[in-house]
Amino acid sequence: MKRERHCIRCKDYYFIIIYSFYNPSIHYSFIYDGRQPLLSVMDTNMIKTILVKECYSFFTNRRDIDLIGPLKDAVSVVHDENWKRIRSVLSPTFTSGRLKEMLPIVCRYAETLVKNVEKKAKMNEPIALKDLFGPYSMDVVTSTSFSVDIDSLNNPSDPFVSNIKKMLKFSFFNPVFLIVIIFPFLIPIMEKLNISLFPNEVTDFFHKAVTHIKENRKTTRNVSFTLINYIYTHKSLSH
C-alpha cells in the first residue's frame, strides 16, 4: 500500500482534508491528531456497526482531553462505564417524541431570528449569517437544555453569551495546548497547579450557573420539557 504523509494546516477544514485521503477501495484512512493516531472510517455499514449495533460494547469515546476542569465529566469526554451510563440517560431525550416537545422553544427563537433578519433587510444592511445563526443556536441549546432564556440575538452582552464566546475562542498556538501535545508527561503537574485549557473564570461561571439552575429546579415546578427537567425526573424515578 502506498503511504503518503501530509501535514494539515490550521486554516484547512479538518474533515475536508480527511475526506481527501479517502480511498474508495479501502473505506478508511489514517491520520494523527497531535501525537494520537486515528483511524477514520468512511464505510457506511462499518460506521453503523460501530455507532449503533455495537455502540455500548465497542465504541466508548476516543477523546482523551485533559486540563478542562469541571468539563472532564462531559459526555463528549468521559470514558467506558461513565460514558455508557451518561449516554443511556441522555439518549431518550433525542427520540422523535421528545424532540417534538422541544419544537415550541425552537419555533419561538426562530420567530425572533426572522424578525432580526427582517429588521436588517428593511434597513438595507448587509447580513452576516454567522452573527445571526450563532446566537440563535445558542438560545435554542441553552433554553432546551437548562430552561434559561438569554435571548442572545437581542442581548449580546448577556454573561452567558460573553462566557460562551470566550470558551469557544480557541487557538492552536495556546501555550497550554502546545504543552499538552508536545509534553504530555507534564499534564499531571499542570492539573495539580489547576491549569486549564479554558479560562478559569469561564469554567467557574458555568459551574456556578449550572449549580444554581439545579438548585432552582428542586424548588420550582417547571412542566416544560428540557434536558435538565428530564434528567431530574429520571433521577427521581430511579430512586
Whether the predicted pLDDT of 10 surpasses 80 = no
Query: What's the confidence (pLDDT) of residue 113?
Result: 92
Whether the predicted pLDDT of 4 surpasses 50 = no
Model-level pTM greater than 0.75?
A: no
Whether the predicted pLDDT of 18 surpasses 80 = no
Q: What one-letter code names the amino acid at 40? A: S
C-alpha cell of residue 10 = 490550521
CA dihedral over 159, 161, 162, 167, signed as positive or negative: positive
Q: What is the pLDDT of residues 138-169, one digit of tens each?
A: 888 888 877 778 888 888 788 888 888 888 77
Cell numbers 425526573 correspond to: 233
Better pLDDT: 29 or 126: 126
Contact present, 237 and 231 (Cβ < 8 Å):
no
What residue segments make up the domains of the chain, in order of their start?
Answer: 1-59, 90-236
Query: What's the confidence (pLDDT) of residue 2?
Result: 44
Cα 61 to Cα 80: distance, rounded to the nearest angstrom: 7
List phi, psi (to 5°) of 197: -65, -30
Whether the predicted pLDDT of 193 surpasses 90 = no
Q: What is the pLDDT of residues 70-129, one digit of tens each?
A: 777 777 778 778 888 888 877 777 788 888 888 888 999 999 999 989 988 898 888 888
Query: What's the confidence (pLDDT) of residue 177?
Result: 81
Q: What is the pLDDT of residues 209-229, one digit of tens each?
A: 878 877 776 676 655 666 776
